[in-house]
Amino acid sequence: MKEDQGFIQRWRCVCAYDGTEYAGWQKQPTKDAVQDAIETALAQIFSTPVRTVGAGRTDGGVHANGQVFHFDQEWKHGAENMLQALRSFLPSDISPRILEPVSRNFHSLSSSKGKRYVYRAVQGWAMPQDERFCLSLKNQRIDLDAMKKAALFFVGKHDFTAFAASRGKGEKENPEKEIWKMEIDSSSDEIRFWVEGSGFLYKMVRSMVGALFEVGRGKIKYRFIKDILETRKRTEVVVSAPAKGLSLEKVFYTRPGEWNE
């Protein structure tokens, strides 16, 4: 598919990454972010700097199975060949999964309707091959029923200031977000938190999960989650869960339940 403006094509890529060694998605002056590695790879392929736009920022140490980004570049050899070229220039902890031409109207960030995150924890000690991707609860006893009750308070449209952290540098964002789904399930020794919503503040998911763990440990009552939410003020009661358990699973371009999700 060719476009006007010199036949420059817009490309959409869905990628996965192990975020352990990276300072998050967004490129940094230190060049140690996932976006830095991807733009370096694209520059090698095209012999010119290539700017990418991601669907959102993930924190340092957070992983992704479904991060989305786009870029504009002329390419005459087909999407599959570009995908293989990109893979060949990237380290093994960043894996492009899908790459396809899209309309110039598509925008990874502004076209997004929401995201799905998953947080993983293990009751007991995680196996060594899983330790980078989940929180080991070790000897802690967790009350799952209380956590599930508390999680329901997050569903709906709320001001999530009490469950966000400041990025600094004067950045401000609308604190009102809508959570469509906040569910906890467990199988064997693993606990998974499934969170879907219209948008998320800095460290919001990790803060929500951290507060639920406090409920599970019996340090706060499950009803107290509602009280914290209504204060609209961050306090020491809310501690963010470690980054390594969190993964961006999917970016939605139609709201869940709409056709062609």
d(CA 54, CA 58): 10
The pLDDT of residue 77 is above 50: yes
Does residue 3 carry a pLDDT above 50?
A: no
Q: What is the pLDDT of residue 172?
A: 78
Domain boundaries, the chain: 4-102, 114-252
Q: Is the pTM of this model over 0.75?
A: yes
Segment 96-118 mean pLDDT:
97
Task: Output the CATH code of domain 114-252.
Answer: 3.30.70.660
Catalytic residues: 59
Quick check: do 4-102 and 114-252 share a fold?
A: yes
Q: pLDDT tens for residues 172-192?
A: 789 999 999 999 999 888 999
- Strand-strand pairing, 53-54 and 94-102: unpaired
Note the pLDDT tens digit of each residue in 212-256. Answer: 999 999 999 999 999 999 999 998 889 999 999 999 999 999 877
Residue 1: predicted pLDDT: 39
With cut-offs at 50, 70 and 90, classify the pLDDT of residue 9: very high
Model confidence pLDDT, tens digit, residues 79-93 = 999 999 999 999 999
With a cut of 90, say whether residue 62 has pLDDT above it: yes
Residue count (the chain): 261
Count Cα atoms within 13 angstroms, Cβ side, for 214: 20
In the predicted structure, residue 171 carries a pLDDT above the cut 80: no
Mean pLDDT of the region 50-66: 96
Given a cut of 80, whether residue 168 has pLDDT beyond it is: no
Select from 1.10.3480.10, 3.30.70.580, 3.40.50.800, 3.90.1150.180 the CATH code of 4-102. Answer: 3.30.70.580
